[in-house]
DNA sequence: AAAAAAT
């Protein structure tokens, strides 16, 4: 399998200089190991989660229920850090929980030569620990001497935090499937890809955290993106979450920050004290900004960032709507070097003077196409272009997008400088990782059919040959994600399943942010192995152990379908996707058929004849979506045609991308953009 | 017409 690729255009020399370094000599107080905040953000999830609704068994009867409204204490608990965690003593050891096999610190590994790296807090170090005098007890601070202010050196280990960050881990990765993913990079002077994390120097901290995360080898997107980002190039990557994308940008960006140190940002923060601004408290100047379309995705990226920032001086923060802004501001004020945000809340924070982007050297736009879909473009431009962020060419910008329609091409043209384009094949979805089933189910039969599916312990025989890992009954390690089209429908189906005795919960945009996060946690943890969801959960969320995705309602858009089923079969695992199809779904017939064929899935004969009968209809699918990047015909030789300098319109306006065999609908260069919909066909809403 | 997202 290979790609035809794409443009390369020449630009004048890259004036890029990252990590604006300057001398600084100040004392640095590192609170990153303080139980105060670390206990706050996610400890509530991992250890200290209390919910009186979850006391019962979830085996089948009397399941926990995800109430609406109610308990107001939850978020407070979560953020309060009020758990009785053991406190770190002066030499960074922990007297608390019994050692778990998970705990190894960095240095526990014998495969790393740099033994001096770990647990060597003592000799030669000019810093010192200060015991905090707080009533709550013993905040330990590492006070650094200015000359020791080297961000590339790890800070003290913290067993409890380490356990919290790294204990939940992916298992059973199907590497064989994984390596099939085709990747293609284009652009001027593209650095060669790596085969091992050791092929590029990411420094002690990153390598230690890679070990702790039990990452053995880079995923395909990481193999390419890491050296590109490390060599300070801008990047436009067409890849979906689940390909290892988050680490693909977090690892090299953080590595670079550790190497370069805080630069001007540190002084700026110092100068932003109460005396310097009407807003009083310190304004934070993150060195790196990651924008994400949904709150849950932002949280997920933040959680990853915490892992790779372990034992570093970088403090990640996350801001998003629906949550208490005061709490987020307080968290920011404790220091913020890497900020993960949804656009709206970030603009809010900027207008409140809490965040300055003046020293933001690294900008990541995750799921960029999704952000545009959701109308974020003005806010993104406000953040990137109309504020104090360094211009392109100065900052380093990385964009990730599942598709590459015209709107994204324009954004790439505006935000990126001399960039490298990376096309990553799908991990799941159209690959054979996911067994896709389409069944004809009338609206009135959907519920009972769903129950049958949920009760099924044996998978249908015709599926078995494709599935080596049978989907089990929903349970702790076997999660089922049920997609519906409307928020109302989600509530109704959740209620139904609840009354039928299933441990289920739901997530959609009308639920409070607290409930959404809780539902996700209940699902992830297996307490509620069935999650009823709207489109909010379709993209980006990385939930391991999702064995079965059920499209209770099929979406009207094939892109949405691909994203949804991509929630299973993550990182090389196998999964099953079952879709209920009836008259209402005729609009997706053709695209669905194409997807099934492409992924070498069994096609029901009725679907085939439906598609044939409907074939007179003009269908157009913008973006990569249904067709993937793969060449379907023709050679690969013509990709250089019509790709002149940027003056001819750069990536945006060119026609002729498809010359080499993408087919005419590969990029939406025909002026219709990605929004052209199927004319004349019946859509989901019956219009 | 749905859903997502700042309040």
At A262 the pLDDT is 85
At A556 the pLDDT is 86
Report pLDDT digits (tens) over A438-469. Answer: 999 999 999 999 999 998 743 443 444 444 44
CA–C1' nearest nucleotide, residue A292: B5
Pair (A223, A362) in one structural domain? yes
Report pLDDT digits (tens) over A277-291. Answer: 444 458 999 999 999
Cβ(A211)–Cβ(A267) below 8 Å? no
Report pLDDT digits (tens) over A116-128. Answer: 333 333 333 333 3
Report pLDDT digits (tens) over A511-521. Answer: 998 999 899 89
Pair (A385, A440) in one structural domain? no
**Span A153-176, mean pLDDT?**
77
**CA A510 to centroid of chain Cα atoms:** 22
**Span A18-31, mean pLDDT?**
28
Work out the number of other CB atoms within 10 angstroms of the CB of residue A133: 8
Q: Quick check: is A332 in a domain?
A: yes
Q: Quick check: is A119 in a domain?
A: no
Pair (A438, A416) in one structural domain? no
CA pseudo-torsion sign A462, A466, A467, A471: negative
Q: Quick check: is A165 in a domain?
A: yes
**Span A424-451, mean pLDDT?**
81
Helices (H), A588-646: 589-598, 605-613
Q: Is the Cβ atom of A179 within 7 Å of strand B at any atom?
A: no
Q: Indicate whether A194 pLDDT > 70.
A: yes
A6 three-class SS? coil
* Mean pLDDT across chain A: 69
Pair (A444, A329) in one structural domain? no
**Span A23-37, mean pLDDT?**
29
Q: Indicate whether A24 pLDDT > 70.
A: no
Q: Quick check: is A368 in a domain?
A: yes
User: Which protein residue has its CA closest to C1' of B5?
Assistant: A344
Q: Is the Cβ atom of A373 within 7 Å of strand B at any atom?
A: yes
- Packing angle, helices A377-384 and A406-415, rounded to 10: 10
> For position A375, which CATH number holds?
3.40.50.300
**Span A473-500, mean pLDDT?**
88
Q: Indicate whether A78 pLDDT > 80.
A: no
Cβ(A322)–Cβ(A513) below 8 Å? yes
Strand A530-533 and strand A504-507: the pairing is parallel
* Owning domain of residue A443: 434-458+476-615
**Higher pLDDT, residue A91 or A165:** A165
- Token look-up 């009083």 returns A280
Q: Indicate whether A531 pLDDT > 70.
A: yes
User: Between the CA of A476 and the C1' of B4, what is the distance in angstroms?
Assistant: 29
Q: Is the Cβ atom of A296 within 7 Å of strand B at any atom?
A: yes
Cβ(A518)–Cβ(A547) below 8 Å? no
User: Which protein residue has its CA closest to C1' of B4?
Assistant: A374
User: Between the CA of A114 and the C1' of B3, what is the distance in angstroms?
Assistant: 50
* Choice among A111-115, A167-171, A406-410 with the minimum mean pLDDT: A111-115
Pair (A336, A237) in one structural domain? yes
A678 three-class SS? coil
At A76 the pLDDT is 29
Tokens coding A598: 């492409």
Give the count of domains, chain A.
2
**Higher pLDDT, residue A654 or A409:** A409
Q: Quick check: is A535 in a domain?
A: yes
CA–CA distance, A237 with A252 (Å, rounded to integer)? 15
What are the φ and ψ backbone dihedral angles of A301, each rounded to 5 degrees?
-65, -40
At A428 the pLDDT is 42
Report pLDDT digits (tens) over A223-248. Answer: 999 999 999 999 999 886 667 889 99
CA–CA distance, A282 with A332 (Å, rounded to integer)? 9
Pair (A440, A403) in one structural domain? no
Pair (A350, A240) in one structural domain? yes
Report pLDDT digits (tens) over A550-587. Answer: 999 999 888 788 878 878 876 667 789 999 999 999 98
Report pLDDT digits (tens) over A333-391. Answer: 999 999 999 999 999 999 999 999 999 999 999 999 889 988 999 999 999 999 999 99
User: Between the CA of A685 and the C1' of B3, what is the distance in angstroms?
Assistant: 14
At A600 the pLDDT is 84
Pair (A356, A488) in one structural domain? no
Cβ(A617)–Cβ(A627) below 8 Å? no
Question: What percentage of chain A carries pLDDT values higher than 90?
Answer: 43
Q: Is the Cβ atom of A536 within 7 Å of strand B at any atom?
A: yes
Q: Is the Cβ atom of A685 within 7 Å of strand B at any atom?
A: yes
At A360 the pLDDT is 96
Pair (A390, A333) in one structural domain? yes
Task: Give chain A's end-to-end CA distance (angstroms, integer).
Answer: 40
Q: Quick check: is A247 in a domain?
A: yes
The winner for highest mean pLDDT among A96-105, A419-428, A444-453, A568-577 is A444-453
The residues of A between 462 and 491 with beta carbon within 7 Å of nucleic strand B are 485-489
User: Between the CA of A513 and the C1' of B4, what is the distance in angstroms?
Assistant: 13
**Span A328-332, mean pLDDT?**
95
Cβ(A439)–Cβ(A578) below 8 Å? yes
Pair (A173, A242) in one structural domain? yes
Strand A140-144 and strand A28-30: the pairing is antiparallel
Report pLDDT digits (tens) over A582-638. Answer: 999 998 998 899 888 888 889 999 999 998 876 544 433 333 333 333 222 222 222
**Span A23-51, mean pLDDT?**
29
At A149 the pLDDT is 74
Q: Indicate whether A107 pLDDT > 80.
A: no
Q: Indicate whether A293 pLDDT > 70.
A: yes
User: Between the CA of A554 and the C1' of B2, what is the distance in angstroms?
Assistant: 13
Domain final residue pick, A566, A583, A615: A615
A473 closest CA partner among A462, A458, A463: A458
Strand B bases within 7 angstroms of protein beta carbons: 1-7
Question: What percentage of chain A carries pLDDT values higher than 70?
Answer: 59
Domain final residue pick, A562, A582, A615: A615
* Choice among A142-151, A290-299, A328-337 with the minimum mean pLDDT: A142-151
Q: Indicate whether A648 pLDDT > 90.
A: no
Q: Is the Cβ atom of A344 within 7 Å of strand B at any atom?
A: yes
Pair (A400, A446) in one structural domain? no
Q: Quick check: is A268 in a domain?
A: yes
At A604 the pLDDT is 94
Pair (A324, A294) in one structural domain? yes
CA–CA distance, A611 with A77 (Å, rounded to integer)? 53
Q: Quick check: is A449 in a domain?
A: yes
Non-local CB neighbours of A321 within 8 Å, separated by 6+ positions: A295, A342, A344, A345, A513
Q: Indicate whether A307 pLDDT > 80.
A: yes
Helices (H), A187-262: 203-212, 220-230, 245-260
A415 closest CA partner among A393, A446, A441, A437: A393
Q: Indicate whether A98 pLDDT > 70.
A: no
At A614 the pLDDT is 63
Q: Is the Cβ atom of A369 within 7 Å of strand B at any atom?
A: no
């Amino acid at each position: 399998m290979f790609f035809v690729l794409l443009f390369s255009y020449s630009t004048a020399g890259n004036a890029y200089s990252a990590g604006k370094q300057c001398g600084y000599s100040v004392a640095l107080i590192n609170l990153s190991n303080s139980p105060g905040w670390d206990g706050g953000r996610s400890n509530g999830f991992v250890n200290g989660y209390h919910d009186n609704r979850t006391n019962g068994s979830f085996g089948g009867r009397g399941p926990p229920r995800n109430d609406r409204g109610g308990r107001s204490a939850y978020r407070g608990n979560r953020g309060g850090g009020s758990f009785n965690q053991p406190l770190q003593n002066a030499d960074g050891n922990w007297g608390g929980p019994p050692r778990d096999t998970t705990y190894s610190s960095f240095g526990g590994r014998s495969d790393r030569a740099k033994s001096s790296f770990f647990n060597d807090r003592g000799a030669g170090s000019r810093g010192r620990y200060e015991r905090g005098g707080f009533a709550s007890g013993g905040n330990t601070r590492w006070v650094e001497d200015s000359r020791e202010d080297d961000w590339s050196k790890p800070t003290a280990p913290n067993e409890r935090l380490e356990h919290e960050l790294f204990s939940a881990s992916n298992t059973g990765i199907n590497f064989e499937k994984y390596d099939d993913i085709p990747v293609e990079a284009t652009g001027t002077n593209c650095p060669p890809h790596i085969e091992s994390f050791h092929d590029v120097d990411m420094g002690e901290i990153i390598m230690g955290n890679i070990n702790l995360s039990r990452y053995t080898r880079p995923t395909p997107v990481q193999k390419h993106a890491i050296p590109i980002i490390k060599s300070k190039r801008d990047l436009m990557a067409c890849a979906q979450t689940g390909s290892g994308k988050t680490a693909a940008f977090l690892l090299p960006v953080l590595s670079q920050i550790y190497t370069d140190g805080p630069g001007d940002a540190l002084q700026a923060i110092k100068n932003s004290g109460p005396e310097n601004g009407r807003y009083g408290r310190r304004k934070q100047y993150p060195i790196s900004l990651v924008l994400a379309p949904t709150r849950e995705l932002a949280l997920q990226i933040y959680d990853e960032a915490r892992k790779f920032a372990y034992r570093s001086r970088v403090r990640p923060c996350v801001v998003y709507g629906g949550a208490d802004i005061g709490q987020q501001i307080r968290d920011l004020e404790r220091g913020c070097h890497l900020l993960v945000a949804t656009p709206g809340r970030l603009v809010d924070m900027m207008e409140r003077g809490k965040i300055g982007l003046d020293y933001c050297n690294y900008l990541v736009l995750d799921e960029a196409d999704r952000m545009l879909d959701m109308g974020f473009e003005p806010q993104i431009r406000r953040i990137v272009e109309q504020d104090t962020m360094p211009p392109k060419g100065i900052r380093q910008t990385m964009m990730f997008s599942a598709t590459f329609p015209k709107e994204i091409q324009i954004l790439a043209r505006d935000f990126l400088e001399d960039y490298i384009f990376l096309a990553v094949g799908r991990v799941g979805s159209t690959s054979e990782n996911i067994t896709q089933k389409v069944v004809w189910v009338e609206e009135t039969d959907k519920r009972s059919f769903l129950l049958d599916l949920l009760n099924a312990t044996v998978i249908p025989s015709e599926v078995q040959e494709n599935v080596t890992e049978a989907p089990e009954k929903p349970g702790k390690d076997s999660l089922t994600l049920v997609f519906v089209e409307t928020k109302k429908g989600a509530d109704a189906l959740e209620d139904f399943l609840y009354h039928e005795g299933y441990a289920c919960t739901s997530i959609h945009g009308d639920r409070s942010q607290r409930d959404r996060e809780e539902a996700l946690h209940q699902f992830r943890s297996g307490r509620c192995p069935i999650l009823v969801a709207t489109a909010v959960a379709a993209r980006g969320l990385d939930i391991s152990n999702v064995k079965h995705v059920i499209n209770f309602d099929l979406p009207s858009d094939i892109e949405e379908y691909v994203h949804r089923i991509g929630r299973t079969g993550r990182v090389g695992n196998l999964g099953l996707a079952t879709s209920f199809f009836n008259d209402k779904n005729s609009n997706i017939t053709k695209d669905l058929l194409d997807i099934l064929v492409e992924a070498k899935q069994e096609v029901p004969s009725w679907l085939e004849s439906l598609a044939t009968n409907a074939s007179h209809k003009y269908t157009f699918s913008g973006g990569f979506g249904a067709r993937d990047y793969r060449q379907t015909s023709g050679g690969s030789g013509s990709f250089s045609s019509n790709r002149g300098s940027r003056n001819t319109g750069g990536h945006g306006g060119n026609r002729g991308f498809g010359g080499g065999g993408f087919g005419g609908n590969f990029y939406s260069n025909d002026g219709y953009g990605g929004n052209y919909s199927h004319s004349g066909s019946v859509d989901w809403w019956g219009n």
